Structure 1
Amino acid sequence: MMFDNKKVDSGTIGYFDTQQENHFFDRKSARIAVAKLSQSISAFANADGGELLIGVEDDKTWRGFASVEDANPLLDTAFDRLKSGYFDAEFLNSDHFPGFVLHLSIERSPSVVYSTSDEAYIRNNAQNKKVTGERLDSLRRSKGDITYESHAIPASLEDLTNSETMIHFMLESDRISEPSEFLRKQGLLIDGNPTVAALLLYSDHPQGQLPHAGIKIYRYETSGEARRDFLSGVPLTIEGPIYTLIRRAEETAQKIIDSIPRLDQGSGLTKIEYPVETLHEILTNAVLHRDYGTRDYVHIKIFDNRIEVESPGRLPANITPQNILDERFARNPLIQRGINRFPDPPNMDIGEGLNTAFQAMERLRLNLPYINESGDHVRVTIPHEPLASPQEAIVNYVRESGRINNSTARTVTKIEQERTIRRYFAELVDAGELAQRGSGRGTYYEIP
């Protein structure tokens, strides 16, 4: 494969020289051994991706390869370890340094990447850390290479098959087989022992064997000019099989939300409101897609102006906060499929949950939830912040872009009716905020 050979000036060199070696960037000598480079490739790919500049000494002296062919062993290492589309390479040359410097851009990998010695590394600040034992298992789970839901638990099969949850499910779903036979056919038994998924779905109290498989709910109040948040009361712990766990947690959280007063101008104290679908879908997603091998709870933190839902485990495989609404990957397919068999399942529309949550916020004209990864957790924040009014959104767009027409205004305001947008334009023109230009289909508006 041919790679770009780019001539760079002193400005580009200066840019790279100012970069500190950190979680996303590292520089290596052209004399680096293949095995050593493979550790860096593994570390960046298993973490959040990053850049490698190969041909720069520790003192930032640029001394590249005598020819691009001399870098072939290192490029072969990248090809051998990384899937197509998850890395890019280019050569840099200049009148200011000898040879060719290899610039590797590595993306976060959807599966665990190993070094030439079959060891896994992860980038931690400016270091490549080897991961073993439980940390390696956690990494493999986060990549979707293994799943904890299929792990066998030495629990009583008789207690599970005679549980109220199991019996109720079998009756409601008209299953004619014996519970143990049903579990076996669904791949929920290993050598006669129930799996994690089996206990979470059908045990009356799975937290007996999986103590962190519950939900913690916290209420934080905001006070003082510095707007500091303080924990109010004792956190609540919700337990039970997943089907009832989600419903109990949702009901408990909603009661707390309903108790939060909100001061609206002209209306006095009113109740704060979030779309019911938003909390339901985000909570359901957190419970169904969390890493059950991580010894921590799902946390729901209710503040005066937002709700935060934290789920143990990083986003799996190729899922990122940026593509999570478009890409699909089930960390716990047995749990997801199993709970969907219950009457009125919480994940009725499999794969559409978060999209539903976002759309519900849009309908109430609230700012959209935002998602970020923090350590080994995923946090979804549901803000209670109104979007700008349609008129404000239109004027703000014109100030930034110079002009606007009816079609663009419908996109900006998320209002589909042309007639409504025409009314807003008329109001803004009468108020002197906008001036109409053109006519017919060529009509647009700008600041007068």
Structure 2
Amino acid sequence: MIGVVKVSSQDLSTVLARQESHFLDFKGKEIKPARLSKTVSAFANASGGEIIVGIEEVSDPHKRALVWNGFENQEAANGFLQMIHGLDPVGSNFSVEFWEAEGENGLTLHIQIEKTQSVITGTDGNAYVRKGAQSIKVTGDALDRLRFDKGLVSYEDELVNSNHDLVSNSDTIIEFMLDMVPTGEPYDWLMKQSLISDDRPNVAAILLFADSPQAILPKRSAIKILRYQTKDDAERDYLVGDPETIEGPLYTLIYEAVARVREIIEGIEKLGPKGMEKVEYPEEALHELVTNAVLHRDYSIAADVQIRIFDNRVEIESPGKLPGHVTSDNIAKTQFARNPRIVRLINKFKNPPNKDVGEGINTALEVMEKLRLKNPIFEEKEAGFLVTLKHESLASPEQMVLDYLKSNPQITNQQARELTGIKSENTMKNVFYRLREAGEIEQTPKVKGKKHSWRRIVSDSENH
């Protein structure tokens, strides 16, 4: 028997107030299992989600309303349970439970669907994806795109219409062979690593061992670095100079991009406890996140990795959605290599950028935590994956204000917001009020023409 969860009246009100979305769908119990399978497929092929069968929308021209109209008993939902088992026989991707609520008719079926590693099709044999509150059938190029997104097909294995000399006789491969395989011949070694086929190199070979991959794979093998002199969104008016492009084989690309980003960041200052201070990010965390963006991006998408440097954050965006079953929530706990050949072979270089294969995100998190800096923010976008590093400490706003006042006579609301990252002037006022109530600070006497400010309350022991 499947478990039955009792839903409180408060929880039921919350459920009935929800809107159908990219992650939620309501279906009446009269829907056919075959038709529901399309929605199950759509969630599984996108970011996962939940379906509640037995809650339906009533027709009312004046307002939207959802009503509970459940199954008479569990057996009445057998057709849906059989359909779900057919799509996921092992039961590792979908989970089901029945809900009952006091005063409501029958049982509703709650289906929780995880993002799957494979492409899930409906009972009609077609694949669907969730877009907003719709389930859309995918065929042709869109289905190929879905397979790339899932990591079922890797663009790194695609053959390039170029002569193998580009990788078998490059300066990069010769230097690599002298370091790592001094007795081997480049062509033979590349063949054994499945990097050359029919005397043509594949994408992985070009990215790793061609001296200028960008000449062969333009718009998909470089890193763009942009500096925006603002804390707001990226707009051309705030762009400092022209975007910089870092090129070269992947090994060089990663190390040169990290070095350049660090150089730009060191030129930024922010308000700190002792006044204006240089912004610093742990180079190890920056290195791991850039490495991750380069090695795990989707190379079938004609777009470069972008690193955007703002006054209060750094954004690293790589083309392609997260592969397989990886999500923004589980990225630190799971592993899936979209480009396993590239990941494995770049690890053979001297001082490889991915020293601990599969541990890049965890390493970055650990380094940030040790330095008491806020964790990176991970977001999956429509066509890419975005990591944001903010210039923010884990210290509370109250502690940051007090630390600042140890070295400075006073602080204004604007200075405090810049220091703490708080955007709202009223929220910052509440921080000051809490410190005042705790007997830590007081308002400085108002001086005409100057903004209100706050200062520490000096204890008697400090006066003597």
TM-score w.r.t. length of structure 2: 0.78
Aligned mate of 1:257, from 265, 274, 277: 265
Cα deviations by residue, 1:112-147 (Å, 9 ceiling, x for unpaired) = 211112221111111001122333223222322221
Pairing 1:246–2:254 present: yes
Q: Is the 8 A contact 1:261 1:272 kept in 2?
A: yes
Partner of 1:125: 132
Partner of 2:84: 78
Distance 1:63 1:335 in 2: 53
Distance 2:96 2:257 in 1: 48
Structure 1 residue 353: Cα displacement: 1.9
Structure 1 residue 298: Cα displacement: 0.6
Aligned mate of 1:330, from 323, 328, 337: 337
What one-letter code is carried by the residue in structure 1 that aligns with 2:81? L
What one-letter code is carried by the residue in structure 2 that aligns with 1:349? D
How much is the aligned-residue C-alpha RMSD, in angstroms?
2.7
Distance 2:8 2:346 in 1: 59
- Quick one: structure 1 residues 90 and 304, their matched pair in 2 at CA, closer, same or farther if it must change by over 3 Å? same
SS of structure 1 residue aligned to 2:373? coil
SS of structure 1 residue aligned to 2:318? strand
Structure 1 residue 56: Cα displacement: 3.4
Pairing 1:63–2:69 present: yes
- Quick one: structure 1 residues 13 and 305, their matched pair in 2 at CA, closer, same or farther if it must change by over 3 Å? closer
Q: Is the 8 A contact 2:7 2:100 kept in 1?
A: yes
Partner of 2:4: 5
Pairing 1:356–2:373 present: no
Pairing 1:380–2:387 present: yes
Partner of 1:406: none
Partner of 2:406: none
Unaligned runs of 5+ in 2: 59-65, 403-437, 441-464
Aligned mate of 1:182, from 181, 186, 189: 189
Partner of 2:153: 146
- Quick one: structure 1 residues 103 and 223, their matched pair in 2 at CA, closer, same or farther if it must change by over 3 Å? closer
Stretch moving more, 257-266 or 195-204: 257-266
Give the paired residue count: 393
What one-letter code is carried by the residue in structure 1 that aligns with 2:244? L
TM-score w.r.t. length of structure 1: 0.80
Distance 2:6 2:390 in 1: 47
Stretch moving more, 89-98 or 23-32: 89-98
What one-letter code is carried by the residue in structure 2 that aligns with 1:217? I
- Quick one: structure 1 residues 17 and 360, their matched pair in 2 at CA, closer, same or farther if it must change by over 3 Å? closer
- The sequence identity of aligned pairs, in percent, is 46
Counting only pairs closer than 5 Å after superposition, residues 111-122 of structure 1 correspond to structure 2 as 111-122=118-129
Partner of 1:303: 310
Partner of 2:227: 219
Distance 1:257 1:248 in 2: 14
Cα deviations by residue, 1:41-73 (Å, 9 ceiling, x for unpaired) = 001111222221223344144433344223212
Q: Is the 8 A contact 2:16 2:67 kept in 1?
A: no
Stretch moving more, 283-292 or 154-163: 154-163
Distance 1:238 1:62 in 2: 57
Distance 2:374 2:115 in 1: 29
